[in-house]
Structure 1
């Protein structure tokens, strides 16, 4: 890989990291007009539990309107960003992003541990989300946080607790637990 290609790769990675950061700020600040600029025209935004499932910028924005209708203030923090370039790395990349959010939902303070599975596409306007899937390790009232990892029923974002999206459903987790006689 020559120097020019290495520099282009670093610039692309920086742009994707900025995309991830902008997503958090735009969501938290309810900058609806800017949220749409983060996605390709044919993008999908989904949740692993199937509750969120939108294709196209207009549908994604409508979906966020629905989310914002049930959420008060919130603060999203992204921690680790893993970016893997596809092919020559000039037009597509995949990524995994870990983070957490502090949110007001269902009249109480909640905290969520999040993992995003992303596909990024380089467009004439820069790198954008082509596909984003949100997964939850937990989504719970703050009062329930100290003991939440004791149970797989860690998604309390809805009136009835639901199973967490990860890690118990991951093939790697299942295989490891089975190899240790626990699966």
Structure 2
């Protein structure tokens, strides 16, 4: 095997490991309210959004400010990732995309809640370090723990804001454009 091929493959393995740690480190930073950690995970020009449009921030300072506001409304949290798929951009070795799936147990405005979430990410290597450049959060449910058994099948299972709103998925995937997911099957 040519040396350049081995080096390329090794670089991909190292990059996959580094990128794979980002969602876990994000969960830890969230649970520890560590804004220094949040800053270290995102590029300076990062964007972070939620599918429902409630969360939208551009630039690391704005992202940290929005998180600080969230931290003020949250009690204890436990974010957990369950899986992560990464695809590299063959035309740009400093770019990759990924989707991380997980859940969180949390207290929001003194109400114990559970949520199933997905992070759709764009990763960028900056000065040799992989970071999140864009993150889109979406939710299958965000329910008070007391409503979990009844709310799980409800299409309006997004209750983070005190009212009933449509979930971001799975219903929206059938009605909307899920073609971005096709890149993960190859």
Tell me the TM-score normalized by structure 2: 0.89
Task: Say how many residue pairs are matched.
Answer: 175
Question: What is the aligned counterpart of 2:113 among 94, 110, 115?
Answer: 110
Aligned to 1:36: 39
Aligned to 2:53: 50
Question: What is the aligned counterpart of 1:85 among 80, 84, 88?
Answer: 88
**Could you give the per-residue CA deviations for residues 75-118 of structure 1, whole angstroms, max 9, x where no partner exists?**
10001101011125621000011000000012121000001100
Is the Cα–Cα contact under 8 Å of residues 167 and 173 in structure 1 kept in the other structure? Answer: no
The alignment partner of 2:164 has SS state of: coil
Please give the residue correspondences for 1:5-154 in structure 2 after superposition, counting only pairs within 5 Å.
Answer: 5-88=8-91, 90-154=93-157
Q: Where do 5+ consecutive residues of structure 1 fail to align?
A: 176-183
Give the aligned CA root-mean-square deviation in angstroms: 1.8
Question: What is the aligned counterpart of 1:169 among 168, 172, 183?
Answer: 172
Over 3 Å counting, the alpha-carbon distance change for 1:125 and 1:70 in structure 2 is farther
Distance 2:88 2:33 in 1: 30
Distance 1:174 1:134 in 2: 16
Distance 1:66 1:174 in 2: 31
The alignment partner of 1:162 has SS state of: coil
The alignment partner of 1:2 has SS state of: helix
Is the Cα–Cα contact under 8 Å of residues 136 and 164 in structure 1 kept in the other structure? Answer: yes
Is the Cα–Cα contact under 8 Å of residues 168 and 174 in structure 1 kept in the other structure? Answer: no
The alignment partner of 2:138 has SS state of: strand
Cα drift, residue 37 of structure 1: 1.2
